[in-house]
Amino acid sequence: MSAPLRLMAVHAHPDDESSKGAATMARYVAEGVDVLVCTLTGGERGSILNPKMDRPEILANIAEVRRLEMERAREILGVGQRFLGFVDSGLPEDESEPLPEGCFALQPLEVAAAPLVAAVREFRPHVILTYDDDGGYPHPDHIMTNRVSVEAFEAAGDPDRYPGAGEPWQPLKLYYHMGFTKERFEALHEAMTARGIGSPYADWIARWEDRPQKWEVTTRVPCGEYFETRDKALLAHATQVDPDGFWFVCPCDLQREIWPTEDYHLARSLVDTELPEDDLFAGIHADEVSHACS
């Protein structure tokens, strides 16, 4: 293809890009694909989840710290990245607790989606990655991220919508992340147990009936050789990721043996493709790469 393929990953907070689809992005970067991460909020209300970083001076400057962490992760993954300017909504401990005034999750849909529509029209991705309609987990910012991603996918190619946000461009495929499936964690749990490695997944599996899987996996992208890159990007988010914690218990070699893919659900497609897929760009041809749809 004469023009490069382009992939956009839409995330709620800095660190989400490294825990969801990071090895996929690193693989496509290595193959010459242009990859852009759009981060909708600055993570200003995120807790410090790494005990080693739980210090008053960090908490007092958490927004700037998280921006610096995002820059390090971006460099490790080799992707472009931009913040779209909204304020983190936080995660209330009590569902009845109101969200902070002015936060991302409380924005009208067209206000929340407008910067993403503009980014889509400027970057012109062929494929967009985002969360499912439950947000992957029910954080209000993740749920809103799904809503604005679907809105941008459907509106960016329409010249009558979001006038002034750039020349129309229609992405061709929209995917939901499916990395946290019962099937995957059961396979890793069984492999770790068989090898005498303590598994952290038993409690998750036991509670899975509380959250049945809504979307099927349609697409498994082989990217095991980039698991170490993914882990380095995760570790760059030092306030959010404990290096002795959950994410790093299962060795990368074992993950490559048992589950060497990152998995997705194809939520929208304007091209013909045969399921199951092993490539996010399956069905996208040269003439569709070079020209915007309007």
Q: What is the 3-state secondary structure (H, E, C) of 255-290?
A: HHHHCCEEEEEEEEECCCCCCCECCCCCCCCHHHHH
Q: Which residues are known binding-site members?
A: 13, 16, 142
> Is residue 150's pLDDT more than 70?
yes
Does residue 173 sit within a domain?
A: yes
Q: Which residues are known binding-site members for Zn(2+)?
A: 13, 16, 142
Strands 6-11 vs 261-269: parallel, antiparallel or unpaired: unpaired
> Is residue 222's pLDDT more than 80?
yes
Indicate the pLDDT class of residue 291, thresholds 50, 70 and 90: low
- Mean pLDDT of the region 107-136: 96
Find the radius of gyration of the CA atoms of the chain: 19
Does residue 184 sit within a domain?
A: no
- Mean pLDDT of the region 143-159: 98
Per-residue exposure over 219-257, b if at least 16 CB sit within 10 Å of its own CB, e if not = bbbebbebbebbbbbbbbbbbbbeeeeebeebebeebbe
Residue range(s) defining the domain that contains residue 34: 6-179+215-290
Give the per-residue pLDDT at 2.
54
Does residue 186 sit within a domain?
A: no
Residue 208: CB atoms within 10 A of its CB come to 15
pLDDT digits (tens, 9 = 90+) for 166-217: 999 999 999 999 999 999 999 999 999 999 988 988 888 888 776 667 899 9
> Is residue 293's pLDDT more than 60?
no
Does residue 187 sit within a domain?
A: no
Indicate the pLDDT class of residue 67, thresholds 50, 70 and 90: very high
Indicate the pLDDT class of residue 292, thresholds 50, 70 and 90: very low
User: At 122, which CATH number?
Assistant: 3.40.50.10320
Give the per-residue pLDDT at 105.
96
Give the per-residue pLDDT at 95.
74
> Quick one: residue 283, left, alpha or beta (phi over 0 = left, psi -120 to 50 = alpha)?
left
Give the per-residue pLDDT at 47.
83
Indicate the pLDDT class of residue 46, thresholds 50, 70 and 90: confident
Does residue 34 sit within a domain?
A: yes
CA separation for the pair 192, 5 (Å, rounded): 37
Domain count, the chain: 1
Indicate the pLDDT class of residue 136, thresholds 50, 70 and 90: confident
SS3 83: strand
Does residue 168 sit within a domain?
A: yes
- 46 within 8 A of 139, measured Cβ to Cβ: no
- 198 within 8 A of 249, measured Cβ to Cβ: yes
The two tokens of residue 59 are: 């908490």
Does residue 223 sit within a domain?
A: yes
CA atoms in the 13 A half-sphere facing the CB of 80: 12
Give the per-residue pLDDT at 288.
64
DSSP string, 227-250: HHHHHHHHHH-TTT--TTSGGGSS
Indicate the pLDDT class of residue 113, thresholds 50, 70 and 90: very high
CA separation for the pair 200, 204 (Å, rounded): 8
Indicate the pLDDT class of residue 128, thresholds 50, 70 and 90: very high
Does residue 171 sit within a domain?
A: yes
SS3 7: strand
The two tokens of residue 175 are: 């995917």
CA triplet 109, 113, 119: central angle to 5 degrees? 175
Between these two residues, 275 and 93, which has the higher pLDDT value?
275
Q: Tokens 């889509």 correspond to what residue?
A: 120
> Is residue 289's pLDDT more than 90?
no
Helices assigned H by DSSP within the chain: 16-19, 22-30, 56-60, 62-77, 109-123, 140-155, 182-194, 202-206, 227-236, 252-258, 286-290
DSSP letter (8 states) at residue 201: -
Q: In this prediction, what percent of the chain has a pLDDT beyond 70? A: 95
